[in-house]
Structure 1
Amino acid sequence: MPMDINEKPDTAIVVVNLGTPDAPTAPAVRRYLDEFLSDRRVVSLPRWLWLPLLRGVILPLRAPKVAPKYASVWMEGGSPLAVHTRGLAVRMQEEFDGVRVLHAMRYGNPSLASVLAQLREDGVRRALVLPLYPQYSTTTTAAVGDVAARADGLQVRLLNDYHADAGWVEAVAASIRTHRERHGSGEHLLFSFHGLPQRVADAGDPYPRQCEASAAAIAAALGLSPEEWSLSYQSRFGRERWLEPATDATLDALAERGVRTLDVVAPGFAADCLETLEEVAIMLAEQFHERGGTLRYIPCLNDSPGHARALAAIARRELTAWS
């Protein structure tokens, strides 16, 4: 049920996504990437080495190249990630009576720190922070936790992950079924997750294990055999070794195997963004086309009713356990 705007609830839910530039321009992209890549959770190199390299070399070169990519997917209300995350919070609010639901970004605006501070000023006593990362990683979820831990005058509870939640798994599976009912089924289904440096996984990060568990659960819900689906990791950055198999290499291997119609879904992303729309749906689709195949990208759950209901159920269980 929607919340009466005159009510002053003492509990709030904050859904948090990674972040986005405020505009598809080089200066805005540079500001965003500076905040994102300056976080020790994201890049663990010594600050004296990394920050001069980042601000003196990488950002001046990268921001002008990345800005047109954002422009290619920009929506009327902002970047896809911003539009869908904002819409998701609105839909989730409809599932609650007497609890505020807001959205925030770990990097960029509205910042999680500012949202939590405003909640405190509004008299909210408790805030459930729900990172929109189904799979936990020290590079993402823990970075949200760093901000949540610094919130003064507010009781904060952090949800670590929901990678195997039955409601979320069914929501992803339902979106795949709907896509295939409308467009027909591809010969193979590829689960493409965001990559991670291998050293992070070697240090004990549970992310790859949770990605594997998510993909297996969704495939099982769809009734797929092991030969009908596979898993890969995208968005590699830098020269060090990242999780494998890589999505681009997997596409080549599938084409070599004779797959001509490939469905790709990215269940590690709650909302579509540059990595799904520009990297997968455009760049990787072109790569697969050059190998004689057709890549059909299945959108993220975004602000769909099924996504809102699944996350609302998760949040409701957390609030009940907290009480």
Structure 2
Amino acid sequence: MTDSTQAARDVLLLANLGTPSAPTASAVSRYLAEFLSDPRVVQLPRLFWLPLLRLVVLPLRSRKVSHNYAAVWMDGGSPLEVHTRRLAAAVQEQMPGVHVEHVMRYGEPALTRRLRELRGQGARVLVLPLYPQYSTTTTASVGDVVARELPDARMVDDYHVDPAWVQAVAGSIRTHWERHGRGDRLLFSFHGIPQRLVDQGDPYERQCLAGARAIATALELPDDAWQATFQSRFGGGKWLSPATDATVRALPAEGVKRIDVACPGFAADCLETLEEIAMQNAGFFREAGGDELSYIPCLNDDPAHARAIAGIATREFDAWR
């Protein structure tokens, strides 16, 4: 444990999803093997899914996905790693009495290992998953690790309508409009999950829509100026709709020639925002007759984002006393 951790009574772990260590097929395969082996992520019988994953999915997907990562890779690593690390540093500046660091649910730096290291150290540990909306596919998986490795730790379940976070997202959109102009429609694109999980009680869809409406209200947008969509479908079955890719393909026929897309379900830019939205879906929109899809970056290490996260964590630590 570092000296700064030893000196801190409180520890804040900002947990994001994870990322390959390099934009190579082998690194992507290792990452996807861990990610897609989590029964919270793929809820199929293990005896069926794990052989299929190893023998079919990983060989077929790893090389293709590695090319996608290479298209957005940064000098300091993957965008998710770089921006999450920078966010942790920005939150640390807001919370000098707390030791702040970032961890990943899958890949490195590993949440599991960090919690094990913190056992018996006497620190109060707060885990804040960087998922504004709760889902059994993401937040609950972090909770599984916390409950197993450090039961005395506490965890933030969601912050989908936290006022400071809502204002931070709205402010980033205003800034984007000031710099690049405003499109005919604003899309809020969230990561999708299977519809059956929502039918079983997962609050994710409800929280996405509530957060989108809160941001739209902060922007004083009428209902016909924005809409929420869902991206990144994986596998079969019905997923949340409307789908982002289908929506961007349909909008030009409605006379919408320029759209802005924000992704408030992602705390930091990553493959799903930079490659899937800003590149793939921008291409879909142009192919369908649209003029421009303007992607609005995630909050990343924006000062307003750091203040919002620090505020949420501070309230949690204060309630712990």
- Pairwise TM-score range, normalised by the shorter structure: over 0.9
- Conserved in 1, the CA contact under 8 Å of 2:192 and 2:232? yes
> Which digits, 9 at most, give the CA deviation of each residue in 1:225-273, with x for residues without a partner?
0010011000011121100100011112211111001000000000000
**Residue 313 of structure 2 is aligned to residue 315 of structure 1:** yes
Q: How far is 1:316 from its partner?
A: 0.3
**Residue 22 of structure 2 is aligned to residue 38 of structure 1:** no
Q: Give the TM-score normalised by structure 2.
A: 0.97
- Conserved in 2, the CA contact under 8 Å of 1:191 and 1:264? yes
d(CA) in 2 for partners of 1:145 and 1:64? 31
Q: Give the TM-score normalised by structure 1.
A: 0.96
**Residue 234 of structure 2 is aligned to residue 240 of structure 1:** no
Q: How far is 1:126 from its partner?
A: 1.3
Q: Which residue of 2 aligns with 1:195?
A: 192
Superposed counterparts of 1:124-135, under 5 Å: 124-135=122-133
d(CA) in 1 for partners of 2:57 and 2:241? 25
Q: What is the count of residue pairs matched by the alignment? A: 318
Unaligned 5+ residue runs, structure 1? none
**Residue 137 of structure 2 is aligned to residue 151 of structure 1:** no
Query: Pairwise CA RMSD of aligned residues?
Result: 1.2
Q: Which residue of 1 aligns with 2:8?
A: 9
Unaligned 5+ residue runs, structure 2? none
Q: How far is 1:55 from its partner?
A: 0.3
Q: Which residue of 1 aligns with 2:275?
A: 278
> Which digits, 9 at most, give the CA deviation of each residue in 1:138-173, with x for residues without a partner?
000000001111124x62001000001000000000
d(CA) in 2 for partners of 1:195 and 1:35? 20
**Residue 154 of structure 2 is aligned to residue 140 of structure 1:** no
> Which digits, 9 at most, give the CA deviation of each residue in 1:254-308, with x for residues without a partner?
1111100100000000000000000000000001011222100000001111110
C-alpha spacing 1:128/1:291, structure 2 compared with 1 (3 Å): same
Q: Which residue of 2 aligns with 1:167?
A: 164
2:53 is aligned with what amino acid?
L
d(CA) in 1 for partners of 2:286 and 2:248? 10
SS of the residue 1:280 aligns to: helix
Q: 1:213 aligns with which of 210, 218, 227?
A: 210
Q: Which residue of 2 aligns with 1:59?
A: 58
SS of the residue 1:316 aligns to: helix
d(CA) in 1 for partners of 2:253 and 2:91? 43
d(CA) in 1 for partners of 2:97 and 2:236? 49
d(CA) in 2 for partners of 1:97 and 1:42? 35
SS of the residue 1:191 aligns to: strand
Q: How far is 1:125 from its partner?
A: 2.1
Superposed counterparts of 1:9-28, under 5 Å: 9-28=8-27
SS of the residue 1:150 aligns to: helix
Report % sequence identity.
Answer: 62
- Conserved in 1, the CA contact under 8 Å of 2:5 and 2:11? no
SS of the residue 1:155 aligns to: coil
d(CA) in 2 for partners of 1:36 and 1:271? 18
1:137 is aligned with what amino acid?
S
- Conserved in 1, the CA contact under 8 Å of 2:5 and 2:99? no
Q: Which residue of 1 aligns with 2:69?
A: 70
- Conserved in 2, the CA contact under 8 Å of 1:125 and 1:155? no
Q: How far is 1:78 from its partner?
A: 0.5
d(CA) in 1 for partners of 2:66 and 2:202? 31
Q: How far is 1:97 from its partner?
A: 2.4
**Residue 280 of structure 2 is aligned to residue 297 of structure 1:** no
Superposed counterparts of 1:90-101, under 5 Å: 90-101=89-100
d(CA) in 2 for partners of 1:242 and 1:275? 17
d(CA) in 2 for partners of 1:273 and 1:226? 29
- Conserved in 1, the CA contact under 8 Å of 2:160 and 2:208? yes
d(CA) in 1 for partners of 2:233 and 2:161? 25
